[in-house]
Amino acid sequence: MSKANLLDRRQVVSTLLANRNDVVAIGGLGASTNDMCAAGDHARNFYLWGGMGGAAMIGLGLALAQPKLPVLVITGDGEMLMGMGSLATIGLQKPSNLSIAVLDNEAYGETGGQTSHTSAAADFVGVARACGINDSRSVTTMADVEAFAKAVHDVSAGPRFANVKIGSAGLERILPTRDGTYILNRIRGDLGFQPI
Amino acid sequence: MHAHADAADTAPTWPDDIFAALQRFDVRQVPYVPDAGHAKLINRVLTSSTMRGISLTTEEEGVALLAGAWAGGQRGVLLMQSSGVGNCINMLSLIPILRFPFLTLVTMRGEWGEFNPWQVPMGSTTQGVFELSGVQVLRASNAAEVPAVLEAAASQAYNALTPTAVLLSQRLIGAKVFTK
């Protein structure tokens, strides 16, 4: 099954991070974290290799701790489905500096391409809005991606959510570091925090 | 006193001891899934000017939240009841991998005069689940020992990055009474 006009995930993520400045970015378990690395390693990249369903909540904890910093979660539809309740938690807290972009290929790409709930039924844009995330967008063009990337820097108008329909083509794996302690402490160091 | 508990009729003061310890350790984010045993502490947190209470839909959200909070420079504590511990299991893997301070306060069900058999299986395995997951377990069984247990738990969690759960026993909280 192929659909026309689906966006290229690598191009989407590079655009989201192109002028990132002080953005802290969290990549959900799966291809999203690789996409973030492919766009260029960065001290403020929080790569996840596990904890499926936790990406948005890591974003919330960071956003509440650093309310002046833009925090961007980039994850996949399968990862977001596992943590769908966190959209209700975020909708309640309304962190104005948190943005979430779901790269939605309607499939579990890492495990053989099994179709996900978004292929036929689940509508994240509706879910996020119904959970109180009023700025909830369906992103279908690169112009939409660019507009969302710009909005991420407005730390007074979030939370915001974008569901980005992407193609399901398999891409070369570009793997970030798997050392979680390094990843986390690199972020802390870049934010000016000392080791314990 | 009711039939199954050592807890006094009057409002307990041990939640105030917990709140004071959390304040002393500069805890800022307090994710929780509500429990009757945590009700007073949650109220204290929600009216605090320094702590943020964060209501969760399920407990594992809180584990991930605390990782993000620490990346952003803040300490947190997760409040839940024993049935929620099972919900956390896979997310607990973040703790040794990322090495962030993890403290959770767990109100126990399924022990000490429990009325509801459905609480017993998870209540009986709560300590084992934590220990298998690399989280050290301390227990408070009466109000008098709460301050010392909290002090020890917070010290080792925040100063030594030792993942720690405090089990607040049903004997301390009082078994939930079901009336028709």
- Judged by CB atoms closer than 8 Å, whether chains meet at B57 and A86 is answered as yes
pTM beyond cutoff 0.90: yes
Q: What are the residue boundaries of the structural domains of chain B, listed by start?
A: 14-173
A150 HSE (CA, 13 A, CB side): 6
* Option in B54, B55, B73 nearest A188 (CB): B73
d(CA B144, CA B130) in angstroms, rounded, equals 24
* Option in A50, A53, A57 nearest B65 (CB): A57
Neighboring chain B residues of A55 at a CB cutoff of 8 Å: 64
**In which element (H, E) is residue A56 found?**
helix A55-65
* Option in B54, B60, B93 nearest A50 (CB): B93
How many Cβ pairs within 8 Å bridge chains A and B?
118
Instruction: Give the tens place of pLDDT for each residue, B115-155.
Output: 999 999 999 999 999 999 999 999 999 999 999 999 999 99
Mean pLDDT, chain B, integer: 93
- Residues paired with residue B104 on neighbouring β-strands, in sequence order: B78, B165
Neighboring chain B residues of A89 at a CB cutoff of 8 Å: 54-57, 61
d(CA B161, CA B173) in angstroms, rounded, equals 28
Distance from CA of A90 to the nearest CA of B (A): 9
pLDDT along chain A (196 residues), means of 10: 77 97 97 96 98 98 98 98 98 98 95 94 98 98 98 98 91 92 98 95
CB proximity A75 to B under 8 Å? no
Q: What percent of chain B shows pLDDT beyond 90?
A: 88
CATH for B14-173 (2.40.160.40, 3.40.50.970, 3.40.50.150, 3.90.226.10): 3.40.50.970
More confident residue, B75 or A5: B75
d(CA B24, CA B18) in angstroms, rounded, equals 10
CATH for A9-190 (2.60.40.420, 3.30.450.20, 3.40.50.970, 3.20.170.30): 3.40.50.970
- CA B89 to chain centroid: 15
pLDDT band at B3 (very low <50, low <70, confident <90, very high): very low
Neighboring chain A residues of B78 at a CB cutoff of 8 Å: none
* Option in A62, A63, A184 nearest B98 (CB): A184
d(CA A173, CA A76) in angstroms, rounded, equals 16
- Judged by CB atoms closer than 8 Å, whether chains meet at A64 and B29 is answered as yes
- Give the pairing type, strands B75-76 and B136-140: unpaired
- Judged by CB atoms closer than 8 Å, whether chains meet at B28 and A65 is answered as yes
Closest among B152, B137, B146 to B171, alpha carbons compared: B146
Structure-token pair, residue B37: 């045993």
